[in-house]
Amino acid sequence: MNRRALITSSLALAGASAPPAALSRRKRLGIVIHSYWKRWHGRYSSLKQPPFTTPLDVLDHVRSLGAGSLQIGVADWNRELAGKVRHTCESYGMKLEGSITLPKNEADVSRFEQELRLGKEAGATIFRSYIGGRRYEDFASLDAFKAFKEAAWRSMQLAEPLARHHRVRIGIENHKDFHAAELVEMLTRLSSPQIGCAIDLGNSIALLEDPVVVVKTLAPFAVTTHIKDMAVQEYADGFLLSEVPLGEGILDLPHLLGLIEKANPEVEHHLEMITRDPLEIPCLRESYWATFPDKPATTLARTLSMVKARKAEKLPSVKNRSLEDHLAFEEENIVKCLKHAGEKLGFDSVQVRRPSAKEEK
């Protein structure tokens, strides 16, 4: 029995004994490749945490943890790799979602369509995309942000006919760039079932938005998700924001998941647990407000009050960890999240034992 057949067989046996409570959501939690921020592409690895150099390495590993799907970039793939990814996903009973960059202009359309084709050949019909970075860091003026928004709108217009032609759906992430209402305004104006939202549960806190309001606003457009929990602390210029293992932060995950699934019962959820130092949200600096001329002061007061009331005693940190320790910490956090998802959030928590070296031979 080869490795993939063995793992698939083990999955069937494990699933048969899973407790009924773990099956209430009738799906397994997927994983976003960004959860392996340190280990992906083999940039950093160790004997205990061997490198991920191809998507096949990642699929082998996350399947052994019981993940139901993988969301991963498809840039630079070829047809041979796409075929191998599809075969592997099918043998594991896993789903695949692509991660793709929208076309920047007309000259970039051919690149975008090629990636759509390869992703679809690999089995993906859902793609996650994002448009910008951190609004409060990337733009020093309102005019600069407006130009960015116009370019984003043009990218969406260029992407939509190709998504429709290839019969795929693209979810655009709320990526610390647009307010939820701003993203919804563009999606409504585009008015296409092919282009919706990849809902990230924590990003918009950086824009002083309430996570519940964000999810309620974006849920009707839900295509896919980034599931995470967040913790906060005060600092001199505002607050610190950090991903933490599910259940250890401030988010009401059952409520937020319920809001999304009410709008789209078929949506797949993907864990994004980035193990890194906390992000600084400098909302008490004047520069932070350059692109927010109409943001009411009440949003600042509400957010800082929440931070003060719910501040974490300690936030995750990696700056003083060795490479080996950082990689182990990354893996530990992901495993914690999957465990919580199975025990507390109703996801199927099937785990597949890894084959021994002898069995792989």
Confidence of residue 350 (pLDDT cuts 50, 70, 90): low
Is 158:191 a contact under the CB 8 Å cutoff? no
Tell me: the pLDDT tens digits for 39-61?
Answer: 987 778 777 888 898 999 999 99
Tell me: the pLDDT tens digits for 78-106?
Answer: 999 999 999 999 999 999 999 999 999 99
Any domain includes 168: yes
Q: What is the pLDDT of residue 15?
A: 35
Any domain includes 298: no
Give the count of domains, the chain.
1
pTM assigned to the model: 0.88
Any domain includes 300: no
> Among 21-25, 118-122, 218-222, 266-270, whose mean pLDDT is lowest?
21-25
Any domain includes 305: no
What is the pLDDT averaged over residues 339-348?
94
Tell me: the pLDDT tens digits for 122-170?
Answer: 999 999 999 988 999 999 999 999 999 999 999 999 999 999 999 999 9
Listed in order, strand segments (DSSP E) in 139-194 are 169-173
% helix, strand, coil for the chain, step of 5? 50, 15, 35
Any domain includes 163: yes
pLDDT at 204 over 70: yes
Is 201:211 a contact under the CB 8 Å cutoff? yes
Sign of CA dihedral 288, 289, 291, 297: positive
Q: What backbone torsions phi and psi does residue 348 show, to the nearest 5 degrees?
A: -65, 125
Is 70:59 a contact under the CB 8 Å cutoff? yes
Q: What is the pLDDT of residue 24?
A: 66
At 242, which helix (H) or strand (E)? strand 238-244
Any domain includes 57: yes
Any domain includes 105: yes
Any domain includes 304: no
What count of other Cβ atoms lies within 10 Å of the Cβ of residue 78? 9
Retrieve residue 71's tokens.
């969301």
CATH number at residue 215: 3.20.20.150
Domain that holds residue 124: 3-231+244-280+318-354
Residues β-bridged to residue 279: 241
Q: What backbone torsions phi and psi does residue 244 show, to the nearest 5 degrees?
A: -135, 160
In angstroms, rounded to a whole number, what is the distance separating the alpha carbons of residues 225 and 147? 27
Tell me: the pLDDT tens digits for 132-144?
Answer: 889 999 999 999 9
